[in-house]
Amino acid sequence: MTTKKKVLIVAGGTGGHIFPALAVAQKLSAENVDISWVGTSDRMENDIVPKYGYPLHTIKIEGIVSRGLKAWLKAPFTSLKAVKDSIKILKEIRPNVVVSFGGYVCGPVGIAAKLLGIPLIVLENNGVIGLTNKILMKFANLTLFAYPLPQAKKPEYIVGQPLREDFQKVNSEDNLRPLLEKAKNEFIELKNYLANLDKEFTQDLEYNEENFSKLYSLLDSNEQKDFDHLSFQKQKLNIFAVGGSIGARILNENLAPAVKLLAEKDIYVDLVQQVGKNNLANVEQLAKNLELDKVASSFTPIEFIDNMIERYLASDLIICRSGSMTVFEIASCNRPVIFVPLAHHKDQQQLLNAKYLVDQQAARVILNKDFNSQTLVENLLTLNYNKLYLMAKKQTTLATPQATDKITAFIKTYF
């Protein structure tokens, strides 16, 4: 009888570490691999992981960055105990390989794996390497990367971000059709606009990227601004804004006013916003104070949205933070996006995540310090449907639907 292979996953602290790990765990479970998990008892993995049927072993560890002198003085003692507890867990489980997905909990478990001679795989799933992973990478058997970072020793070690199964399947050029139709309609309007300006051009041109660019370039900068403005007047823009499960205060305070500012320019939008837990009443009151019910726009704040894929695909544009999972989920749905990265990360983690799409002209970014209703409107008025379509099209090549399969294949080489 063949002995069942065992994988110990270590991940904790945030959903950005836990949910990619769950995607890989489910793939391995489907292939009859025994999964165990190490996390902490006071973070979200304690609630989430057992619901998926995986045994959760916990150790006590916390980050010391920005926690003050007392935490730094305690760190050597708490870390040593965490390593000892991790060794005990690993000896009990006897996994074939340990896979680290991120979070402070990975440090002592990774060290314990090294001391016991158990193979260690590290996944860095952000656009910048975290402190714990910087340490573990020095002795890990293999380090994989979600983003194309220069530290990847081989191109095949850049694997993308593992996502849950429904996101793995959604990436398709079919997702582009609604934006393509709007871009085609916009091309007709562009030809009419040029004709009204008595510009010379070939009337029988059909829409494609080259022809749009050729005709658009006939406009001077002021005419381009005027046309972009007109474009959103002709076809209503569908926007989805999301700040995570707890919301993002800066989005909650500025999106309703942005709808008002756009309406004053005769641009009417359909904006659905996930405002987060306990924020709905405040956002509804803000919309009421702005009298948004008296404009032709639709503003719909919702506390929490279950089917994110459906909502992403129903939008022409997304406005959101740029956590690693979010970046790859949006790329999988092929949707234009304006990122507003969290500012409190010292290593600019979310900004560097966003750059994966921004550098390929597949997204835009407004820094948290610069974001308000006015700057958002100014940014929107430099867009049109052709630009949105091209952003979405680029994402079809930047999504990583095979990430889970690639990571699983690397793990199995240690069986």
Annotated binding-site residue? 14: yes
Annotated binding-site residue? 361: no
What residues have CB less than 8 Å from 100, skipping those under 6 apart? Answer: 10, 11, 106, 109, 110, 120, 121, 122, 123, 133, 136, 140
Are 261 and 295 in contact by the 8 Å Cβ rule? The answer is no
Annotated binding-site residue? 164: yes
Task: Determine phi and psi for 295, rounding to 5 degrees.
Answer: -110, 165
CA 36 to each of CA 60, 95, 144: distance values in angstroms, whole numbers, following the listed order: 17, 9, 20
User: How far is 173 from 384, CA to CA, in rounded Å?
Assistant: 20
Are 283 and 272 in contact by the 8 Å Cβ rule? The answer is no
Task: Determine phi and psi for 60, rounding to 5 degrees.
Answer: -105, 115
In this structure, the number of other CB atoms found within 10 A of the CB of residue 204 comes to 5
User: How far is 352 from 339, CA to CA, in rounded Å?
Assistant: 11
Task: Determine phi and psi for 331, rounding to 5 degrees.
Answer: -60, -40
At 409, list the tokens: 């294949």
Sheet strand arrangement including 120-124: 56-58, 34-39, 6-11, 97-102, 120-124, 142-145
Annotated binding-site residue? 15: yes
User: How far is 395 from 363, CA to CA, in rounded Å?
Assistant: 9
Are 135 and 107 in contact by the 8 Å Cβ rule? The answer is yes
**DSSP of 311-351:** HHHT-SEEEE---HHHHHHHHHHT--EEE---S--TT-HHH
Annotated binding-site residue? 126: yes
Cα dihedral angle (156, 158, 163, 169), rounded to 10 degrees? -50
**DSSP of 2-55:** PPPPEEEEEE-SSHHHHHHHHHHHHHHHHTT-EEEEEE-SSSTHHHHGGGGT--
> b vs e for 150-183, b when ≥16 Cβ sit within 10 Å of the residue's Cβ?
eebeeeebbbbbbbbeebbebbeeebbebbbebb
> b vs e for 74-95, b when ≥16 Cβ sit within 10 Å of the residue's Cβ?
eeeebbeebbebbbebbeebeb
3-state secondary structure of 242: strand
Annotated binding-site residue? 311: no
Binding site members: 14-16, 126, 164, 245, 305, 350
Binding site members for UDP-N-acetyl-alpha-D-glucosamine: 14-16, 126, 164, 245, 305, 350
